[in-house]
Amino acid sequence: MSEVLAAQEIDLCYGSSRVVRGANIALRRGEIAAVSGPSGSGKSSLLYCLAGVLPVSSGEVRFEGRTLGGLSDAELSALRRDRFGFVFQYGELLPELTVEENTALPLRLAGQRKAQALAAAGEVLGRLGLRELRERRPSQVSGGQGQRVAVARALVHRPAVVFADEPTGSLDSVNAQAVLQEFLTLARSQGAAVVLVTHDADVAAQADTRYTMVDGVLTPQGRPAP
Ligand SMILES: Nc1ncnc2c1ncn2[C@@H]1O[C@H](COP(=O)(O)OP(=O)(O)OP(=O)(O)O)[C@@H](O)[C@H]1O
Ligand SMILES: [Mg+2]
């Protein structure tokens, strides 16, 4: 199988509340999957499970054939740092770092030299129209600009899988398309798999596979019409 990421019958419970219910999803290299569904249906929770941010309550998530639940904390941290990119729903930039330092963070954590990491960050920021903002702090940019910085940071180290939670939620259609283009390029030219939570029908329509999440139940919608 060329599946890079696969979840089988995963549940996530917060106390007695089961917010992800028996979800199954599999992604091949280069595949973009879009997940849509009402607020509170469990989309962010699903991403946290797939990315190993939260341990599943039952079932299993495999990355390149290895079960996340079987990894040590150190192995899981290294995997998330080196192979995954995550765009959190609310940005989560570090306030004391500049835009370019935030973007370069995954490369710095992987041991890359500062000048090289900042240069790579500058390139991604440039493609997202943010080059002029690179020395500002997150508090000095708009919500949508901060969202694009979070996207740049999730892509800068060319991860094998990108998890993006409403990455275009605060963006106009032109900037939303620029963000989507970055995901498409990473998928098509680097073979990354992308799981995209989105409310935007135009964004979902450009994914390879689509799912809906309702009350914790994930249902495939098949491929978009050509
Ligand atoms: N830490 C938590 N403890 C308890 N319940 C939680 C916790 N986090 C989320 N929930 C609940 O789990 C359910 C799923 O939440 P989740 O954030 O995954 O939804 P979502 O589909 O991402 O919603 P939205 O579109 O609003 O972002 C909701 O009912 C939410 O209230
Ligand atoms: Mg959410």
Instruction: Name every residue whose Cβ is closer than 8 Å to that of residue 197 and which is 6 or more positions away in sequence.
Output: 34, 35, 36, 43, 44, 46, 47, 89, 164, 165, 166
Å from CA of 21 to ligand 1 middle: 13
DSSP H helices, 113-218, are 114-127, 143-155, 173-190, 201-205
Per-residue model confidence (pLDDT) at position 55? 96
The verdict on the CB of residue 41 being under 6 Å from ligand 1 is: yes
Ligand 1, atom 2, residue with closest C-alpha: 14
Q: Is the pLDDT of residue 1 over 60?
A: no
Tens digit of each residue's pLDDT (9 = 90 or more) over 102-140:
999 999 999 999 999 999 999 999 999 999 999 999 999
**Rounded distance, CA 135 to CA 31, Å?**
34
pLDDT-above-90 percentage for the chain: 93
Per the structure, how many domains does the chain have? 1
Tell me the residue range of the domain where 117 lies: 3-221
* Inside any domain, residue 226: no
The verdict on the CB of residue 16 being under 6 Å from ligand 1 is: no
* Inside any domain, residue 59: yes
**Rounded distance, CA 133 to CA 124, Å?**
12
CATH code for the domain in which residue 217 is found: 3.40.50.300
Mean pLDDT, the chain, as a whole number? 94
Ligand 1, atom 10, residue with closest C-alpha: 14
